[in-house]
Amino acid sequence: MLQVIRSKAGSFVVKGLFGVLILTFGVWGIGDIFRNRPTDTTVASVGSHSLDATALQTALQPALERLSQNLGTQVDLRQAKQMGVVREILGQLIDNSLLDQEAQRMQLDISDSVVRDTITQDPMFRGAGGAFDRNALTALLAANHMTEAQYVERVRKDIARGAILMAVTAGASAPQTIVDRLYQYRNEKRIADIVTLPVSGAGDVGQPSEAQLSKFYDAHQDLFRAPEYRSFTLASLTPSDLVSNIEVPQEKLKSAYDQRQDEFVLPERREVQQILVPSQEKAKAVEAALAEGKDWAEVARRITGQDPQTMDLGVLKREELPQQLADVAFSLALDKPSRPIASALGWHILRVVKIIPPTTQSFAEVKAKLKTDLAHSEAVDRLYRVANNVDDALAGGATIEEAAAKFGLRKTVASSIDDKDQGRDGKNAELPVASAEVLKLAFNTDEGRSSRVTQTPDGAILVLRVDKILPPSVRPLIEVKDSAIAAWQTQKRKTVVAKEADILAGDVKPGIRLSAVAAAKGLRATSSAPFQRQPDKAAGVSAMLVGKLFATKPGGVVTASDENGSLVAELTRVEVPQTAASGVTAALSREVTAGIRADLGDELTQTLRARFPVEIHGETLDRLF
């Protein structure tokens, strides 16, 4: 069990449990050594109410879990605090307390019938027939560790808060002039003539003198800084290390086949052909020609010019097609053309030339897969037991080498590896398990210490000892001389082309276009595709230029430089949209209205702070979080 506790100790769930235990000990004490320690856990005072650290911890946990999911990596409390999450959640709790006290002051009582109707009419609790499903409510309460009374009280408070906010914000709406201006601002497009001056066009810039190179090296030491390197001893074992020695009985394979029948059903597949045309008029022409019985490929070639090789979409399952096309393709009769179907890509006419009905794979067909799956599962179970044994051995004083030898783990010695999996020679390390998991562990373990036994997402186990840490350092000039010369030359070339760009821009005068100036110098100005304020790679305009071109007027000339060289651009046209589709305008109006109402809600809670003074207990907050 030591391994289980250790491997899960970094999770938010365990941290939350540990946090509750720590807070409990802080309040009640666990002996004389703690009796004189501070026990106040109030993180904020709001009017006559106090917000306790436990309430903040409870509110933080789901927020941190969502943040971790969104970022795709585990976010701990320290990182969340640095990102401002703790203060943000505390602010939400303060706002809720302000609204609760205002509801009490106004004697705003929410009847039981209103609360009951709100819960029973919540779509989240509707069953298959649309009626209220108590089992769904029970599941929610269990998942959130709440009693029904606690949930009812929360809903009651939410209704009261909503009523107060609604009274302030309900009449707010976005003025049409603001919506129109915002639409024009967001969707304005610009076109520019652009001249590119690549670094490679600067030619030979020569060699730096020793003095120039030394000065450049001193001014750009970050270019020559070696990262932190770590040397470590790794012991690991993967499921594949054990699978070859695992025999799966025939009866177990057959039992698994019977239990996983649904998994081995191959759905209906269809071989689909497509004629794709850009307009409805051509789509109707194709439809008419096919209705007259003309050849499919000939119609595609004559009317659309489509290459016959692009007509075959292959044998597809329903989910492999966009839904609007799948619905049609999987309802078509064999060799019958569909009606034209509009999509963002154009107009599609489909034909099914082969239908493969659903089939169930036999035991013989899936036996090998079942054996692999069950052997892997058994290997993961064995690894779990091995991990416990290794953890207990290490806790008993064994070295990683001794534990590896005793329990059959593979030992790997890694010398001077950075957190990008590269050694000092620039080559990737050869590690027996996923390098990301190993390096995360290595760079979170102190020198001379052993890590916890860890299980990777694919079931492997590993433990390591950090033998040596080489901190980041600037490599001496003699060691990086060739790189320093190359960097000096690159900077010199950038300086050359940047000066050329400034001269080129300066030669553009009223009545003399950039394209003419560029042509006189043997350069070419290219007209860009229309681009918007948000840089778009598809438009082919450097992000370095976009902001500058939106800050100038037609005829204005701007320059920019990046790693590839310098750019000169002349704004030639501004396209301001005048009208928008009603659906777009309505959506934008809702967005602006929501923003206005959120601002009004913030104004309300700020005003309530004068009635119910707020004090954040920073020292307690920092101590507990």
Write down the pLDDT at residue 539: 67
Q: What is the pLDDT of residues 614-623, one digit of tens each?
A: 999 989 988 8
Report residue 146's pLDDT band, with 50, 70 and 90 as the boundaries.
Answer: confident
How many domains does the chain contain in total?
4
d(CA 610, CA 608): 5
How is residue 61 written in tokens? Answer: 């946990």
Tell me which residue range forms the domain holding 488: 189-223+481-575
Across the range 177-192, mean pLDDT stands at 91
pLDDT tens track for 509-519:
998 999 999 99
Q: Which residue has the higher pLDDT, 457 or 599?
A: 599
Return the structure tokens found at 60: 């933080």
Do 508 and 439 share a structural domain? Answer: no
Please report whether residue 1 resides in a domain.
Answer: no
Kindly state the tokens that stand for 496.
């050359």
Q: Is 244 in the same domain as 375?
A: yes
- What are the residues whose beta carbons fall under 8 Å from the beta carbon of 196, sequence distance 6 or more? 526, 565, 567
Query: Which one is predicted more confidently, 13 or 527?
Result: 527
More confident residue, 261 or 478: 478
SS3 (DSSP) at 471: coil
318 with 299, same domain: the answer is yes
Among residues 412, 445, 471, which one ends one of the domains?
Answer: 471
SS3 state at 39: coil
| Predicted local distance difference test score (pLDDT) of residue 429 | 86
Query: Looking at the structure, do residues 432 and 492 belong to the same domain, yes or no?
Result: no
What percent of the chain has pLDDT above 90? Answer: 58
For residues 369 and 622, what is the distance between their CA atoms, to the nearest angstrom?
54
Asked whether residue 377 falls in the same domain as residue 234, the answer is yes
Min mean pLDDT across 41-55, 136-150, 266-280 is at 136-150
Matching residue, tokens 């652009």: 194
Q: Is residue 25 part of a domain?
A: no
Examine residue 9 and state whether it is found in any structural domain, yes or no: no
Give the chain's count of helices (H) and strands (E).
23, 19
pLDDT at 586: 87
Residue-level pLDDT at 31? 36
Confidence (pLDDT) at 329: 93
Let me know whether 294 and 241 are in one domain: no
Q: Kindly report the pTM of this predicted structure.
A: 0.54
Domain containing residue 160: CATH number: 1.10.4030.10
Q: Which of 471, 498, 517 is the last residue of a domain?
A: 471
Q: Is the residue at 47 inside a domain?
A: yes
Check whether residue 554 and residue 422 sit in a common domain: no
Continuous H helices in 396-480: 400-407, 435-442
> Are 313 and 373 within one domain?
no
- Position 8 confidence tier, pLDDT thresholds 50, 70, 90: very low
Residue 3 has pLDDT above 90, yes or no: no
pLDDT at site 15: 36
One-character DSSP codes across 408-435: TPEEEEEEEE-TTSBBTTSPBP--SS-H
Across the chain, what does the average pLDDT equal? Answer: 87
Checking if the pLDDT of 5 tops 70, the result is no
Taking the C-alpha atoms of residue 135 and residue 128, their distance in angstroms, rounded to an integer, is 12
Which residues, at least 6 apart from 407, have a Cβ–Cβ distance to it below 8 Å?
237, 386, 389, 390, 393
**Together in a domain, 442 and 537:** no
Domain shared by 82 and 155, yes or no: yes
Residue 462 counted as domain residue: yes
Residue bearing tokens 């560790």: 145
Nearest-angstrom CA–CA distance, 549 and 537: 16
- Domain end: 339, 357, 375, which one? 357
Q: Where residue 380 sits, what CATH number does that domain have?
A: 3.10.50.40
For residue 584, being part of any structural domain is answered with no
Residues 73-116: tens digit of each pLDDT: 777 788 888 888 999 999 999 999 999 999 999 999 899 999 99
- On whether both 163 and 44 belong to a single domain, the answer is yes
Check residue 489 and give its pLDDT. 96
412-466 pLDDT per residue, tens: 999 999 999 998 888 888 899 988 899 999 999 999 999 999 988 888 999 999 9
| Domain contains 476 | no
Query: Is 314 in the same domain as 376?
Result: no
Give per-residue pLDDT as tens, 529-575. Answer: 999 988 776 667 888 899 999 999 999 999 999 889 999 999 999 99
